[in-house]
Structure 1
């Protein structure tokens, strides 16, 4: 009777599969996997490509692994185990070490991918989402290709992590562009990669991003539920925890939950203060800083109808406006001008409100997922029959036409 294929079982375990999970992935019974590992039968030719992929081996390596542990049948009682030379154990250890370190990926490639993701996330405030999405697609496709390459376990996890970040960012861009089905698929991919990599912050960001999506659709109760789920997953002290708390506050503001809204604002400001002020703010979409707390406070208070939003909105504009050229503004400045317009309208400072709204719309930084915020101001101006209403409506319709 053939000896057990010990290396096949070891490789399966190292790849993170139980016998049952491995059988499910290959659409066979668990007993079939057991027979493979005992050396009683061989996998069928059509099963081997999938098996090699699951075990992260080439076809040749799989063939070697399947034959290496199978010993010829010898005469004598079945309970006699052939003695093996002591140096076999030493050589097996060397071979295991070599396999673990073998890689077709490499640290340089992974570092370049990680750096590229950071660059894309920092370009987010000033770059049209459609432009960024094309680059995200290209790099995500490269990650998929590398997942089939030979790599170390450490490199595999890093690849899952950067793939998770890219999928999450792709979902954010799809939401900005109101591409719902693609956004859902990208979020699901990001969650899967985050769980495989055991990276709770990415998973928390997925829930927070979905909370923003449903909030823009007007489902504020669902936004609160998703924000709280994100907070439950996010590690303490992470940007995901702060952002999810801010998202809950904004949803509660839309529902008029004043007590809970102010409590959320206080928690966000407390957590953001612990981060300190960076020497060179990077405007990284997934890295919180105190300046972001200002912007979210302005929006939350404006939605609650609290006049205290005005100084926060003005401070955001003063800090982040690089020039009078609105086309060079980061997206956060356009949002702050919309917040300011809402507050000024409520205070009957109509000329200033229209001017702020016009600047926000003309900046080109109001993405499709935020059109509804600009429309709220346009509708309010029209409801008051202000002379600026036709011009503001024309600018808004022009914005929609450009993004269509």
Structure 2
């Protein structure tokens, strides 16, 4: 095994390794190709990042020197370079754009006949969509579902292309599938792609007058805004989502989910009163029946209320309230029949942030280290994104050697 093999096996990109070690990416590229060897001052930290001792690291370096890459002079396409990843992204965006344009086309007299012919097709797509949502939720690595979803998008795109108009039933299938495609992009921190998918989901759902589906697309788009710290923009989107949801099925939990995300936006703005008001609205989900959600594009069932409340109190600096809610959330996740690495990781990041506000180094290390483990094990870009904000919370505590090492590992993870 070479140095590059070990680096990639642990999920580090060249940028991530370079950031963690304080060197340029091209330096890591030269180490990979066996052109140069790491200087002695970098080796202890490199060994820790690669989870090997110094003797094993030395053997990896020597193997790299003996086995130079055949394309040593070529630019590297590691991680998110202009290689297969860009090709996949372009294809994904092409499918979204073509199908979205077709959805926007006005219906003509053939629409009624097309709708009759499309119902069976749409039912098949919806059954497959339901299956894909289940696979997505159960998958340890969400990205493993992406090729199947891309294939389903292409099939739907072909079905839409063959029709003179866009039947409402196929618009519903498209609005459903685009939301799943958006979630996959969002989990990989591809926020521009996620926003495009959610916009198309909203367009397709609007065309079908599927109000709850439409509102959920807007909610997911609001998550892109909150992830970027654009809380006022998120509030605007959620205000529209709320109005759309009012026209939907009030036996569903759509309005309560809108309120839960609105709480996050108001917490980001530092508005405690509006945040708590929204959280109280979200908790009304407990009064709805078992059919309030569908485990697909609408999954808000009240099981995350403690997580949501705890995370919002961390944002607002209400530490005692936050810790109580997050402790409840961890216990609920531990006892759940199906474990969610993404949810558990998010709660652990919130507890680490709470420890940072209290200047409790042990809590930071314990919670963030476990969240790092979950992020690596699941390849979750979402947990990585949450962890990336943690060093800013740590602040002056980064002078502690253990905290500094943790920050370096987070930097390496966020580059993968």
TM-score (norm 1): 0.65
Using the TM superposition, give the Cα deviation of residue 318 of structure 1 relative to its aligned residue in structure 2, in angstroms: 2.0
Could you say which residue in structure 2 is the equivalent of 1:289? 301
> Is residue 2:130 matched to residue 1:118?
yes
1:257–1:394 CA distance, 2 compared to 1 (3 A): same
Using the TM superposition, give the Cα deviation of residue 290 of structure 1 relative to its aligned residue in structure 2, in angstroms: 1.5
Using the TM superposition, give the Cα deviation of residue 400 of structure 1 relative to its aligned residue in structure 2, in angstroms: 2.0
> Is residue 2:148 matched to residue 1:135?
yes
Cα-Cα RMSD: 3.3
Distance (Å, rounded) in 2 between the aligned partners of 1:157 and 1:178: 31
Could you say which residue in structure 1 is the equivalent of 2:211? 200
Distance (Å, rounded) in 2 between the aligned partners of 1:196 and 1:282: 21
Could you say which residue in structure 2 is the equivalent of 1:40? none
1:123–1:157 CA distance, 2 compared to 1 (3 A): same
> Is residue 2:234 matched to residue 1:219?
no
Larger Rg: 1
Distance (Å, rounded) in 1 between the aligned partners of 2:396 and 2:290: 42
Could you say which residue in structure 1 is the equivalent of 2:316? 304
Could you say which residue in structure 2 is the equivalent of 1:383? 396
8 Å CA contact 2:115–2:169 kept in 1: the answer is: no
Structure 2: where are the runs of 5+ without partners?
A: 1-103
Could you say which residue in structure 1 is the equivalent of 2:173? 162
SS of equivalent residue, structure 2 residue 209: coil
1:183–1:56 CA distance, 2 compared to 1 (3 A): farther
Distance (Å, rounded) in 2 between the aligned partners of 1:102 and 1:366: 43
Could you say which residue in structure 1 is the equivalent of 2:200? 189
SS of equivalent residue, structure 1 residue 287: coil
8 Å CA contact 2:216–2:297 kept in 1: the answer is: no
Could you say which residue in structure 2 is the equivalent of 1:12? none
Using the TM superposition, give the Cα deviation of residue 350 of structure 1 relative to its aligned residue in structure 2, in angstroms: 2.6
- Within a 5 Å distance, the mapping from 1:7-46 to structure 2 comes to none
Distance (Å, rounded) in 2 between the aligned partners of 1:101 and 1:160: 11
Using the TM superposition, give the Cα deviation of residue 127 of structure 1 relative to its aligned residue in structure 2, in angstroms: 4.0
Distance (Å, rounded) in 1 between the aligned partners of 2:382 and 2:388: 11
Distance (Å, rounded) in 2 between the aligned partners of 1:237 and 1:322: 28
- Structure 2 residue corresponding to 1:144, chosen from 138, 142, 157: 157
SS of equivalent residue, structure 1 residue 388: helix
Distance (Å, rounded) in 2 between the aligned partners of 1:184 and 1:371: 19
8 Å CA contact 1:240–1:286 kept in 2: the answer is: yes
- Structure 1 residue corresponding to 2:185, chosen from 168, 174, 178: 174
Using the TM superposition, give the Cα deviation of residue 228 of structure 1 relative to its aligned residue in structure 2, in angstroms: 1.4
TM-score (norm 2): 0.64
8 Å CA contact 1:316–1:336 kept in 2: the answer is: yes
Using the TM superposition, give the Cα deviation of residue 367 of structure 1 relative to its aligned residue in structure 2, in angstroms: 3.8
Could you say which residue in structure 2 is the equivalent of 1:240? 254
Q: Deviations over 1:141-197 (max 9, x none)?
A: 22222335579x9x9433221111101221232233233443343233212211221
- Structure 1 residue corresponding to 2:220, chosen from 209, 216, 226: 209
Could you say which residue in structure 1 is the equivalent of 2:62? none
Distance (Å, rounded) in 2 between the aligned partners of 1:273 and 1:348: 36
SS of equivalent residue, structure 1 residue 286: coil
> Does 1 or 2 have the higher relative contact order (CA < 8 Å, sep 6+)?
2
123-132 or 161-170, larger mean C-alpha shift = 123-132
Q: Deviations over 1:306-346 (max 9, x none)?
A: 221222222222222379xxxx6431111111112222333
8 Å CA contact 1:122–1:282 kept in 2: the answer is: no
SS of equivalent residue, structure 1 residue 291: coil
Structure 1: where are the runs of 5+ without partners?
A: 1-23, 27-52, 58-95
8 Å CA contact 2:141–2:379 kept in 1: the answer is: no
- Size of the alignment, in residue pairs? 302
